[in-house]
Amino acid sequence: MTDVPDAPAPDERDTAADAVSDVDGVADGPKATQNPHHLVELLRQRRRHLRLLDTGVDSWGETLCVAADDLLHVLAFLQADPDADLEVLVDVVCIDHHEDSDEAKASDVDDDENRFEVVYLLRSVRLPYQLSVRVFTSSEHPQVPSVTSLYPSADWLERELYELFGVYADGHPHLRGLLLYPDFVSHPMRRDYPRGKAQPMVPLRTPQHLPVVVTDLPVDDTGDAAQDAS
Amino acid sequence: MKSVLDALPDVIMPDAVREADAASIPLVRPDDHDLVRPLAEEELPSATRRGSLMGADTAPLSRHLVWTFGPSHRALPFPLQLRVELSGERVLTVDPEIGWSHQGLERMLEFGTVDEGFGLLARLHPTTPLVPQLLWAHLWETILDVVDEVPARVCWLRVAGLELSRVVAHLDVLRALAEVYADRLAQQIFTDAHKACARALWTLQGEANFCAVGGMRDALDDSALTALEDELQAALVGVGQMHEQQLRNVAFVDGLGGRGVISIRNLLDHGVTGPALRASGVRDDVRRRHPIFAYDALEPALVTQQDSDALSRATQRLQELSDASRMVLQACHEARRADPSLGTLLDVDDKPLPPGRCAVSLEAPNGEMAFFVDVDANGKLRRTRLRTPSFALAQCLPHFLADAHLDDVVPILLGLGMVGTAIDC
């Protein structure tokens, strides 16, 4: 598991959370800027040793691609830095770049190397910033560092990530199933998962003695409801 | 005397003596081995099969409880199950399990067309399906870069639909809370208002048909809008008077006050947004942060509470309800004044989708709802991702319920307004 040297101390994070409640983070954050590349420039200025493989802007906000080894360092900085303050992990999305056609396989030599792309959607509550961080991992060793130490909300998201895509979150405290039953075979959200694949059936939960439901009172020969014969 | 046994000789009647002598069935502790689901749920049916827990050793039950919520079906073990560790009647730890009822909606959206997606997304939130459907429409309008071409009238009506959905969802939660505390007057008022508003929402959805990219399918005439306004105002008269009265109701205040307290840190850590976050004093609202449709002109009020308990969350919903109804009325008024154009409907499925990816979000009644799609170079939908506020709320349950009394668990759960179908989509 990768170390997180930039992770804020719990006390600092509590203080920051208290500050959030006093601030209207919608439009008038104290250090908000309209620069569309604010977060990327912040990273380049204050964390020069981190490699940003690709940057840009999309519908969510700023976007950047980093190596898996740098992921925790980048997220820890963006969460703790008061000029970024990305303290909400909105979602973790996995994209399988596997292509079915032979043509695509022949043209994309890096298919196996960068098969899975994991996108972390982040936003600030206090400042008007949103960011998506992208990480690629290979088909042979699909693994990304777990970010639960920084964002506890990643707990279920990474369980889902493993269960549906088979991408292992290294360092997750309790990586176990979340959505599928234990006998389910394979990872159903992968592109090469056969659409009509049959799965083991779940045994019906039939009780030993079926309950008897009395809908009508017993009727005697005369057609009247049963009553005391004596 | 004839009895049931005479008519049904094979019926199995409970044998209290035999059950009292039966060996106890201890419940096992949750087991967190990697990817191994705990077997506690296997034990519970064998205990309940005898019709009661008579004869069971009560000692394990007093420490560990497996608590199943929601409708039951033989094919599904449970929709929501809480493994609760107790100290007396106080909850120490909670481990939520959300069942195996994964719907595979994301996969179905990837295989289907964009138009089919509207129908599928109605499953996400059965009572207020308009919220995911409009986000789906906005998502494709963003990808196709036609957001600015959606007519003003359509934008106003979409906002009216979203806010009416918020009114319905909040009333649903409030009537459930009133039912828990047997507050008959409040229950009657909230139930009546909920029925009327749900009917108005159903009419709006049916007549306007919002399930389209770039506009609306059917025209909604001004008389229908006037009828909707009248119905909403009549429905919420009682609710407006209820506000102050509800806050003075001893059963309500004592029952919810100080229950389910959670820190801002825990809420943010678990991605909880919406009324639950604002009830803790955080001024966060996606409608103001990223206003879509016509929200920038409506200026949603940013009300907050401070105590972050179940009472604050209920009060927050009451106050948001009045602002949401104000926005519905204003949106209807503006829609009448706007150009009656329904917009140019885009047949997205007619040609290959534009390559690229898009992530958008809006403020659903329970918090931020975010959708993500990725289209490959061949114009094929490669990935669809739905992230609902109920998922974050379910994950945060251990913190909402920590140190709660057993009696308080149900009101705390109901006050969160989680939607089961939106948790595992």
Q: What is the pLDDT of residues B55-114, one digit of tens each?
A: 333 334 446 677 777 655 545 555 677 888 888 788 888 888 886 667 888 999 998 888
In a domain, B5, yes or no: no
Mean of the per-residue pLDDT values for chain B? 81
Q: At residue A48, does pLDDT exceed 50?
A: yes
Range of the domain at B121: 105-423
In a domain, B68, yes or no: no
In a domain, B135, yes or no: yes
In a domain, B412, yes or no: yes
Q: What does the alpha-carbon distance between residue B269 and residue A88 come to, in Å, rounded to a whole number?
A: 7
Closest Cα in chain B to A95:
B383
- Residue B99 φ/ψ region, left for φ over 0, alpha for ψ in the -120 to 50 degree band, beta for the rest: left
Partner residue facing A153 (CB), from B77, B106, B269: B269
In a domain, B22, yes or no: no
- The pair of three-digit structure tokens given for residue B108, joined into one six-digit string: 């179905």
* Domains contained in chain A, CATH given: 37-154 (3.30.460.80)
* Strand partners of residue B372: B359, B385
In a domain, B120, yes or no: yes
Residue percentage of chain B with pLDDT more than 90: 33
* Strand partners of residue A119: A93, A134
**CA of residue B9 relative to chain centroid, distance:** 47
Q: Chain B interface, mutation test: which of A15, A28, A123, A210, most B Cβ atoms within 10 Å?
A: A123
In a domain, B129, yes or no: yes
- Residue A227 φ/ψ region, left for φ over 0, alpha for ψ in the -120 to 50 degree band, beta for the rest: beta
Q: What does the alpha-carbon distance between residue B14 and residue B51 come to, in Å, rounded to a whole number?
A: 7
CA distances from A34 to A31, A53, A129, B182, B418 (A): 10, 23, 9, 52, 36
Closest Cα in chain B to A94:
B383
A19 in contact with B, Cβ within 8 Å = no
Name the pLDDT band for B214 (thresholds 50, 70, 90).
confident
Q: What does the alpha-carbon distance between residue B248 and residue B257 come to, in Å, rounded to a whole number?
A: 12
pLDDT at B282 (0 to 100): 92
Closest Cα in chain A to B7:
A218
Cα dihedral B277/B128/B211/B229 (nearest 10): -100
Partner residue facing A25 (CB), from B143, B269, B284: B284
Specify the long-range contacts of residues B239-243, CB closer than 8 Å, at least 24 apart. B239/B171, B239/B189, B239/B190, B239/B193, B239/B318, B239/B321, B239/B322, B240/B322, B242/B186, B242/B189, B242/B190, B242/B318, B243/B318, B243/B319, B243/B322
In a domain, B91, yes or no: no
CA distances from B18 to A160, B22, B54 (A): 45, 6, 10
Q: At residue A103, does pLDDT exceed 60?
A: no
Q: Which residues 25-84 on chain A approach chain B with CB closer than 8 angstroms? A: 25-27, 58-60
Q: Which pTM does this prediction carry?
A: 0.81
- Number of inter-chain CB pairs under 8 A, A vs B: 157
Name the pLDDT band for A15 (thresholds 50, 70, 90).
very low
Check: CB of residue B194 under 8 Å from CB of residue B173: no
Q: What is the mean pLDDT of residues B125-134?
A: 89
- Are residues B106 and A153, on separate chains, in Cβ contact within 8 Å? no
A212 contacts in B (CB within 8 Å)?
Answer: 8, 10-12
Q: At residue B350, does pLDDT exceed 50?
A: yes
Q: Mind listing the pLDDT tens digit for each residue in B85-94? A: 888 788 888 8
Q: At residue A228, does pLDDT exceed 80?
A: no
pLDDT at B349 (0 to 100): 74
Sign of CA dihedral A60, A64, A65, A70: negative
CATH label of the domain that carries residue B186:
1.10.645.10
Q: What does the alpha-carbon distance between residue B288 and residue B362 come to, in Å, rounded to a whole number?
A: 10
Q: Chain A interface, mutation test: which of B46, B145, B283, most A Cβ atoms within 10 Å?
A: B283
Q: How far is B49 from chain A (nearest CA, A)?
A: 7
Q: Which residues neighbour A25 within 8 Å (Cβ) at sequence distance 6 or greater?
A: A124, A125, A126, A127, A128, B282, B283, B284, B289
- Are residues A91 and B387, on separate chains, in Cβ contact within 8 Å? yes
Q: What is the mean pLDDT of residues B405-418?
A: 89
Q: Which helix (H) or strand (E) segment is B317 a member of?
A: helix B310-337
Q: How far is B269 from chain A (nearest CA, A)?
A: 6
ipTM over 0.95: no
Q: What does the alpha-carbon distance between residue A124 and residue A122 come to, in Å, rounded to a whole number?
A: 7
Q: What does the alpha-carbon distance between residue B246 and residue B257 come to, in Å, rounded to a whole number?
A: 13
Total domain count for chain B?
1
Q: What does the alpha-carbon distance between residue B326 and residue B323 come to, in Å, rounded to a whole number?
A: 5
Closest Cα in chain A to B361:
A60
